[in-house]
Amino acid sequence: MTTAIATPQRTKLMTADDFIEWCSRPENTDRRFELVRGKVIEVPPPTKIHGVVSANIAYVLGGYIRQRGAGYITINDAGTLIERDPDTVRGPDVAYFTDADSFKDLHPKYGEQPPILAVEVLSPNDRINRVLSKIDDYVNNGVRLVWLVDPEDKSVRVFRLGSKPFTQGADEVIEGGDALPDFRCPLNEFFRLPKDLVNQTSGSNALPAN
């Protein structure tokens, strides 16, 4: 669930630079916000399951990019500037970028390049129409691949610009297509803890296929 913020700034659209300064004010400490076409919305803290699934996905993607030696992962709803005039700053739960080759090259604020992949993990209090609006923002502003992950159903809905969305279940293997070449991973990797592997004879680190 998201909530529009009733502040004086709502009469004047914020820029991304205004937004990062506003979020750093003491009264906004420990609160989470996004900027949608110049207007601030507050986003509630996610659930523990949401955090575990996000961490699992980041772990899997981390193995993939280390094997390829390119790109980087962001987590914790790191702000991503995806639209200008008016500005939109969204916070994917997990995102994969290729716009920097070393730590010193990372943009100090939100950056100007969209991620290759944006991942949204549903929480019980999410309103699906607002989540789909966020996904539209991604797809229509240069994000090549979006995963909408549902921990309750143990499924992932896949979005790409110009393609019809489709859903995959936990017993299937998700692939990265052109956006993540050679990426393949059983979806059940997203929905487990280490002890869930007991009595299982095989797994996957989602490394590039041979």
Residue 170 lies in a domain: yes
Residue 207 lies in a domain: no
CA dist 37 and 55 (Å) reads 29
Residue 174 lies in a domain: yes
What pLDDT does 11 receive?
Answer: 61
Domain count for the chain:
1
In percent, how much of the chain has pLDDT > 70? 88
pLDDT digits (tens, 9 = 90+) for 46-78: 889 999 999 999 999 999 999 999 999 999 889
What pLDDT does 198 receive?
Answer: 62
Give the bridge partners for 40, in sequence order. 35
CA dist 138 and 186 (Å) reads 25
Residue 185 lies in a domain: yes
- Residue 72: CATH number of its domain: 3.90.1570.10
Helical H segments across the chain, by residue range: 16-23, 48-68, 128-139
In this predicted structure, the answer to whether residue 199 has a pLDDT above a threshold of 60 is: no
pTM for the complete prediction?
0.86
151: domain range? Answer: 45-197
